[in-house]
Structure 1
């Protein structure tokens, strides 16, 4: 039996980065994308390595995907799920009969490659791929583009994490996620896999976008391979513009809603409201952006409480997550292609820096994934902070977006038409809308 290494403290409550040229601002029709069907099977990245040894899994914390830890985990008794899954990958291709761990790993790798290839086409520069691995199974690939032609900073990360959940963390899990956990169980092995991305364009007319989809699994400690398993999915995507183009926001939300509606008409309104609530800065009394969808803890009990009935809840929710991932490029690519070459002024670039300051505030103060990662021993800091923009700014008592006082309100009124578009955005951030 292997000697356990020290556990990492985890928390269940935590779930889950002068104008350049004069450009034309003509309105180009949206490029058409289809969200139907499965993405074509891409050729593997040259950076892929046989690092991803899957372990007995535990769906636990979305923040594991953000933290992308590289510290050691407790070794598992033989035979382990790490060894089982490694053997399965060597013996045959991943199919619908494969464990969900392997299917989710395959899905997020395929979408990472597809997204990186499309963003590289748009930007004209290639991503830097950084492969990392965990000694007892798991690892990831961080694909980052910095100082590109279109994107000031863009990151698309895949993470496969295995580890041991200590008793205090187990006790914070939802009741239906620990059905087989007795009082004598001091730790649980967990599996977590996810794809996360954040894109920060140069042009202030082009919005920042964020996405994260993840899967978690836990196993009965008495029989990790053949025993009962608990699992759940989490994820979502949201848009953060510096200047408001209502047609862009409607397109983004409509594409997401279409993907949701193919599975359950109640998903979009529920997850949209969840997103508005999560991406909110209480100290500023405003939202980080114009929203999208956000969800967590999607499992069999979730389906039982919704209008959807299924004989195979895991398969049903995997299909929903697959469609959610497939909807990303159609939701964002037409927007970035439409806005990336629009002309902008130094003042508009400065406004973008102030809005990015809000992005930094949210991620460092409120985002659960970032908070968890920064408190995790041996965490991969570069991956945790990938979501932050390359540049950001703060201004004391900004008339439009700063702390509002009687004096600043007067100054704002005196500015007249100069800040109309900035005010339009602030109104939406302070009063979220139903876009579709």
Structure 2
């Protein structure tokens, strides 16, 4: 298992750097607000309990207002409640968790916020039995002024990467994403979805470790295949102050979801994780407005009336 963990770790570090390079290129190529040489600031940190990480944050770019691309490999002496709730037999077990997680908040309201996460979790039961492992992750898209071609492209990439792993994999993990990124108190989805999966191992899928790892790799590459064309299609579009304010208002939903419902945030805080890394997903600016309702027929109305309702996007 240790050799497997090291192979996954090397892939994750390479994936993190590839994503950093791709996002910095978007800055250099520029958008409607111009170009910049903004770079990710790299922060290598150690964890007292064991392990550490490599955090990369870009702030104040002309194309990307804030982005965090975070690698971590941490050791956990006692699993927190957010993990053992679904795996009660692992209560009190030691564990390792390693993964790459990212959130990108573009400056232009026409470019969606995007999120991706790929991770491996390995727990060692206290009774001395064999280690239990599983993969999780996915990616999702949160637009403010969406267009159908971008949404279809995003889901087409998701569908194609899932296809080698089974005809039903895309539909299963798409539905899980729609259900997971949902705000019950608002009665709406956070965005237009993508893929979400957890507890992927031999017991749940019939795949061996190598195939589960291959799926992680496909999802990691799929994020870039999905998001880069969307950046290039939309970052040169002009926008006005009203659209900017709507973007900030909708970012408030992102904050609400991450702080109230997201399992990754809860796990990080409960496992005594690095707070700066856990909360790097927060946008640099967000806004709330009392009882705001967009006018019928406007693009702002269309977002919640059409796009934030789960659909078979590839059939439209």
TM over 0.5, shorter chain:
yes
Q: Which residue of 1 aligns with 2:119?
A: 214
- Is residue 155 from structure 1 mapped to residue 68 from structure 2 by the alignment? yes
Partner of 2:286, secondary structure, is: coil
- CA pair 172-374 structure 1, distance change in 2 beyond 3 A: closer
CA–CA distance in structure 1, aligned partners of residues 140 and 41 of structure 2: 24
Q: Which residue of 2 aligns with 1:334?
A: 229
**Cα offset, 1:170, TM superposition:** 8.2
Task: Give the counterpart of 2:285 among 388, 391, 411.
Answer: 391
Q: Which residue of 2 aligns with 1:432?
A: 310
- Is residue 111 from structure 1 mapped to residue 24 from structure 2 by the alignment? no
How do 1:10-409 residues align onto structure 2 when only pairs under 5 Å count?
99-124=3-28, 125-135=38-48, 137-165=50-78, 172-174=85-87, 178=89, 187-219=92-124, 221=126, 228-304=130-206, 310=207, 313-377=208-272, 379-400=273-294
- CA pair 228-203 structure 1, distance change in 2 beyond 3 A: same
More strand by share: 2
CA–CA distance in structure 2, aligned partners of residues 218 and 149 of structure 1: 42
More helix by share: 2
- CA pair 169-148 structure 1, distance change in 2 beyond 3 A: closer
CA–CA distance in structure 1, aligned partners of residues 68 and 18 of structure 2: 14
Partner of 1:165, secondary structure, is: coil
**Cα offset, 1:434, TM superposition:** 1.2
Return the TM-score normalized by structure 2.
Answer: 0.90
CA–CA distance in structure 2, aligned partners of residues 129 and 345 of structure 1: 33
Partner of 1:327, secondary structure, is: helix
**Cα offset, 1:327, TM superposition:** 1.3
- CA pair 233-168 structure 1, distance change in 2 beyond 3 A: closer
- CA pair 133-360 structure 1, distance change in 2 beyond 3 A: same
CA–CA distance in structure 1, aligned partners of residues 161 and 266 of structure 2: 30
Q: For the Cα contact (< 8 Å) 2:190–2:308, is it kept in 1?
A: no
Matched pairs, number: 305
Q: For the Cα contact (< 8 Å) 1:244–1:424, is it kept in 2?
A: no
- Higher radius of gyration, 1 or 2: 1
Q: For the Cα contact (< 8 Å) 1:285–1:430, is it kept in 2?
A: no
Specify every segment of 5 or more residues in structure 1 that has no aligned partner in the other structure, as ranges.
1-56, 58-84, 86-98, 305-309, 401-411
**Cα offset, 1:374, TM superposition:** 3.6
CA–CA distance in structure 2, aligned partners of residues 421 and 135 of structure 1: 49
CA–CA distance in structure 2, aligned partners of residues 316 and 277 of structure 1: 25
**Cα offset, 1:123, TM superposition:** 0.9
Partner of 2:120, secondary structure, is: strand
CA–CA distance in structure 1, aligned partners of residues 7 and 217 of structure 2: 11
Question: Which structure has more RCO (C-alpha within 8 Å, separation ≥ 6)?
Answer: 1
**Cα offset, 1:205, TM superposition:** 0.3
Q: For the Cα contact (< 8 Å) 2:81–2:270, is it kept in 1?
A: no
Q: Which residue of 1 aligns with 2:299?
A: 421
- CA pair 360-234 structure 1, distance change in 2 beyond 3 A: same
- CA pair 107-339 structure 1, distance change in 2 beyond 3 A: same
CA–CA distance in structure 2, aligned partners of residues 171 and 370 of structure 1: 15
Runs of 4+ in 1 over 4 A off after TM superposition: 166-171, 220-223
Residues 32-70 of structure 1, C-alpha deviation per residue, up to 9 Å, x if partnerless?
xxxxxxxxxxxxxxxxxxxxxxxxx9xxxxxxxxxxxxx
Return the TM-score normalized by structure 1.
Answer: 0.66
CA–CA distance in structure 2, aligned partners of residues 169 and 355 of structure 1: 27
